[in-house]
Chains A and B, each alone.
Chain A
Amino acid sequence: MQGKCKVFLDIIVAALFSFLAFLPGAGAEEKPAEALKDNIPKFFAPKPPSSENFPCSKCHQFRATNKTKRKLHEYHTAVELKHAEEQRWCYDCHEGNKLRLQNGQLINFDKSYQLCGQCHGTIFRDWKAGLHGKRTGSWDGEKLYRLCVSCHDPHKPKYRPIEPKQQPLKPADIK
């Protein structure tokens, strides 16, 4: 048992030293991967929008646009902006039934990654290369990407904590 623990600790020591060596500059060195740069993925795992809110126009055609920054009480009460909210508000990203890019261009909801990509360039590039976020399917063929919004609520993008799966049995619990 002693020997085992020692081996185990050795791993960790080695791991930690490696961490230390690399932590400060982690990810700092990034070569442009030209081949991958405009390689927008083709296939996405569907992320169906809530039916009650689409199309937006079913209500908003009857409502005057209210650009005042405020807390919403009547509707969309679940939309809580915690995403660089000092600098912006809903209409920086929304217009009618579309999403709005900074240059005023309107895009469909299924292209929301373009919106995110405007401000999160490095992550966007990593995502296209399959590094940030997740893809499933074939390592050597077609892959399904997850949209940014499958993992991040655009309004409150910090990844939500989840419940962990069961821990391994402790030796003491083995009968």
Chain B
Amino acid sequence: MSKEIEKASVDRRTFMKGIAAGLAGAVLPGGIAEAFDWDAFLQKHFKEMTDEEIKKVIERLEREAAFDWKKKIHIAATKALPNVKFGYGLDLSRCIGCRKCVHACVEENNQSRTPQVQWITVLRFKKGEKWIDLENSEKYYNPKEVPEKDFFYMPVQCQQCENPPCVKVCPTKATWKEPDGIVVVDYNWCIGCRYCMAACPYGARRFNWAKPSIPTQDLNPETHYLGNRPRYKGVVEKCTFCIQRTRTGKYPACVEICPVGARKFGNLLDPQSEIRYLIENKRVFRLKEDLNTEPKFYYFFAT
């Protein structure tokens, strides 16, 4: 994080606290006020900005990112495509638990290497009677080869709920659902309170306890404002269905990497899409359906 932003974001919080305490005027000592980045502080809510304003903000963020990460970063603000609502399918009868998706996601989406942030968690269950035994579900499994006899695997990531509880609890409206159904986070509005993490029934959100660290050469410079652009210390992040890829027609990185083709993706509004085909032809289920979160992430057994 550049000095300016670090200060700006710290001050933003101090400032908020100050307001709460009725001391708004007192919290900006002269020294800090000089370095204070008013542009960052006064940045409007993403949804209320005009295209022109977004452009300006992005120019500033690109400048800061280039300085911070010693690399030219492109930040897109591609809008949701009309008549598109994204849906995801995961075939549990094919998944072999290889975790290629986990790592492809980390690379595509610029997740922190240390401390480790991963948007996808692959759970392992024992088949048959015993897999009811919840204590034995595992995310640290580490055999020589997968799939292992008698086990099956279930990757979990943001379920992109139509009725997302995380959005409801956010006190700063820093997270919301886009028209194409993707739940996004504005890292410049997130104050790191982590209410959303507590509200998410799927444990899908991750917190940056420290400034993310990513080797410069591994940083993916093709980013989206609402997706994989570099994050700050103290903000929450999560899967965005690879918004930077999918809004330009590409498959998410996890779909492309999956060696067994267990991951399916498409437009729920298009009757010809593979996601519609699988919903109509296979028995699908969603996690914790009873909570009425309406995930757009469908698990199924193809066989």
Q: How many interface contacts (CB-CB < 8 Å) are there between A and B?
A: 160
B256 at the interface (CB under 8 A from A): yes
B32 at the interface (CB under 8 A from A): no
The count of chain A contact residues (Cβ–Cβ below 8 Å) is: 55
Distance from B213 Cβ to chain A, minimum over Cβ atoms (Å): 14
Distance from A39 Cβ to chain B, minimum over Cβ atoms (Å): 9
> Cβ of A162: which chain B residues have Cβ within 8 Å of it?
96, 98, 145-146, 259
B203 at the interface (CB under 8 A from A): yes
B131 pairs with A16, CB closer than 8 A:
yes
Distance from B120 Cβ to chain A, minimum over Cβ atoms (Å): 10
Given contacts A130-B274, A161-B96, A168-B118, contact A138 B302 (CB under 8 A): no
A100 at the interface (CB under 8 A from B): no
Distance from B237 Cβ to chain A, minimum over Cβ atoms (Å): 16
Interchain CA distance A119-B121 in the complex, whole Å: 36
Interchain CA distance A131-B91 in the complex, whole Å: 9
Partner among A7, A15, A132, A167 whose Cβ is within 8 Å of the Cβ of B154? A15
Given contacts A12-B123, A168-B121, contact A163 B287 (CB under 8 A): no
B18 at the interface (CB under 8 A from A): no
B116 pairs with A168, CB closer than 8 A:
yes
> Cβ of A135: which chain B residues have Cβ within 8 Å of it?
261
Interchain CA distance A36-B274 in the complex, whole Å: 10
Partner among B141, B251, B283 whose Cβ is within 8 Å of the Cβ of A167? B141
A104 at the interface (CB under 8 A from B): no
Given contacts A18-B289, A26-B301, A141-B249, contact A11 B134 (CB under 8 A): no
A-B residue pairs, 5 tightest by C-beta: A134-B261, A130-B274, A161-B145, A26-B301, A165-B99
Partner-A contacts on B (CB < 8 A): 91, 93, 96-100, 102-103, 115-116, 118, 121, 123, 131-132, 134, 137, 139-147, 154, 156, 198, 201-203, 246, 249-251, 255-256, 258-261, 264-267, 270, 272-274, 277-278, 280-283, 285-290, 299-303
